Amino acid sequence: MSIKSDIADVLVIGAGASGGAFCWSLSESGAKVVCLEQGGWVPLDAFPTDKAESAINWQTDFNPNPNLRQLSEDYPVDETETPISPLMYNAVGGSLIHWGSHFPRFHPSDFKVKTLDGVADDWPMTYQELEPYYDLNDNMHGVSGLKGDPAYPPKPTRPTPPLALGHSGEVLARGFNKLGWHWWPSDNAIPSVEYDGNSPDHGGYLRSMTSSDIVYWPKALRRGVQLKTYSRVREILVDKSGKASGAIYYDKNGDLQIQKARVVVMAANGVGTSRILLNSKSGLFPEGLANSTGLVGKNLMHHPCGMVVGLFEESFEFKGGPRGSSMLSQEFYETDSNRDFVRGYDLQVLGSEQAPLASALGGLLGLPVVWGQNHHDEFAERFRHTIGISIMTEDLPEEHNQVRLDPIHTDSHGIPGAKINYTVSDNTHRMLDHGLERASEVLKAAGATKIMSAHIRRNCGWHLLGTARMGDDPATSVVDRWGRSHDVSNLFIIDGSIFTTSACINPTSTIEALALRTADYLKGEGSATIG
């Protein structure tokens, strides 16, 4: 084992959304920052969606499910006891390699669900505290959108104009208008015009042009951040006083190394961070690091998604606009006492055109075109004639939903994999039922001649949240309002693990805003932690 003689001021584990934003911001202070990432760089043009082979890549080496992708930098995730497959990507940029660039913010109400609705817990911060970091992050990404959405407090003019709704979006807008329901063009981390030296990406590629490997990492590297790729962390080390002292990791050659540090920051996603902390057992921390409450890995939240697809007589051609959601409705976002569930969901309108193979395999719905005598007729009915609406629900935290170590299935270095135990709550099932009915209404109002739906999609585990929850009370949370471990004063967590609740909106904007906020804390009030 080789021990690096140079001690980093801050060691960051993971180079995804939170790790990239954090490293860029903290590097401004002049601190010596080292980041370990178990994957590598993915070329920008590695997976264009306008090529026929992209649909094959999606099923193989670019599959969002690590169990199907099985690259050397992946680790196994036992998903036999969950109806939702956890999806992630190990690379510089993390799971943003796959994302649709949908970039909404949480609502003010999302930070105080206990106060408002008597469920879960309030966050130890407010929307107003996070708002400056939302604004900064939007500007870094060149977010496209339209100012004035009545569902939110006033936001600054979006850095770039909104992307086109596209033909399918225009059709669905008519449906929402007919019903009198809220809709608004989505904020997307896809600049609509040239921005910060990057050409606009109107959805022609699977990759967003403003993922963290494009926005944050080049700037962080120019400031002196040291990024070590293909470096898999086995465990976090602690000294005799119980402080984090660095990490043991396997380098790209498979050799065991030790990187010492004054501060350790976890940014490995809601599964990966728990996996490393639980594997970091010692005499001082026999149940894993930062786990005196036994809460590390527990309270896993996804965003269980239903899907409704409408078939239309007219043909839809993709002519620009976001690859992900072009528009969203927050008509059913907040709790309504007239409904049989608490909290809410949003409706996200998705693009229509997919490659022929993707359409045959089920496209947005996940229901393949059946083989047999009517296969070609059914394919022709669907291909370029569908619009999908995703129902994204708020998942409330429950301790039995958790990430555990899986000693049976290990990665290529023999480190235990992860096992997911997760069930969808009755509240969420009722929410999905309601959402499927409302989405069907919109599609019919827009002119759909046929409706197909799926109550819950298995391949929707993009958002891995809550497994090291934030809170003021050390007895009921893992980290404080800055992401600092209650147990280990120089250990911070900045990824989606720290979410107290999940809201019903995509989390990337909030994840990066939280990371930027923690970096500011370490540059200011918490600078003594670095020394």
pLDDT at 47: 65
Domain of 392 in residue numbering reads as 2-529
Give me the chain's average pLDDT, please: 90
C-alpha to C-alpha distance for 382 and 28, rounded to whole angstroms? 51
How many residues would you count in the chain? 531
**Number of folded domains that form the chain:** 1
Closest to 24 measured CA to CA, from 216, 224, 263: 216
| CATH code where residue 246 lies | 3.50.50.60
Locus of tokens 């590097």? 27
Q: Quick check: 205 pLDDT over 60?
A: no
Instruction: Give the pair of three-digit tokens for residue 521.
Output: 């804390």
Contact call for residues 451 and 388 (beta carbons, < 8 A): no
pLDDT at 175: 96
Locus of tokens 């540090």? 261
Contact call for residues 30 and 287 (beta carbons, < 8 A): no
Model confidence band, residue 353 (pLDDT cutoffs 50, 70, 90): low
C-alpha to C-alpha distance for 530 and 459, rounded to whole angstroms? 40
Residues contacting residue 173 through CB under 8 Å, at least 6 positions apart: 165, 183, 327
pLDDT at 242: 96
Closest to 349 measured CA to CA, from 445, 429, 443: 443
Instruction: Give the pair of three-digit tokens for residue 366.
Output: 């996940």
Locus of tokens 């990024």? 227
For 308, phi then psi, to 5°, come to: -125, 130
* Strand, coil or helix: 188: strand
Model confidence band, residue 461 (pLDDT cutoffs 50, 70, 90): very high
pLDDT at 356: 61
Model confidence band, residue 99 (pLDDT cutoffs 50, 70, 90): confident
Q: Quick check: 365 pLDDT over 90?
A: no
C-alpha to C-alpha distance for 196 and 199, rounded to whole angstroms? 9
DSSP tally for the chain: helices H, then strands E: 13, 17
Give buried/exposed letters for 234-253 (b at 16+ CB in 10 A, else e).
bbbbbeeebbbbbbbbbbee
Q: What is the distance between the terminal CA atoms of the chain, rounded to a whole angstrom?
A: 27
The residue-averaged pLDDT of 349-354 equals 64
Say how many CA atoms lie within 13 Å of 157 toward its Cβ: 3
At 26-63, the pLDDT tens digits run 999 999 999 999 999 998 777 655 555 666 677 777 88
Locus of tokens 């980290």? 479
At 11-26, the pLDDT tens digits run 999 999 999 999 999 9
- The strand pair at 77-81 and 416-421 is best described as parallel
Residues contacting residue 438 through CB under 8 Å, at least 6 positions apart: 331, 332, 347
pLDDT at 200: 75
At 466-513, the pLDDT tens digits run 999 999 999 999 999 999 999 999 999 999 999 999 999 999 999 999
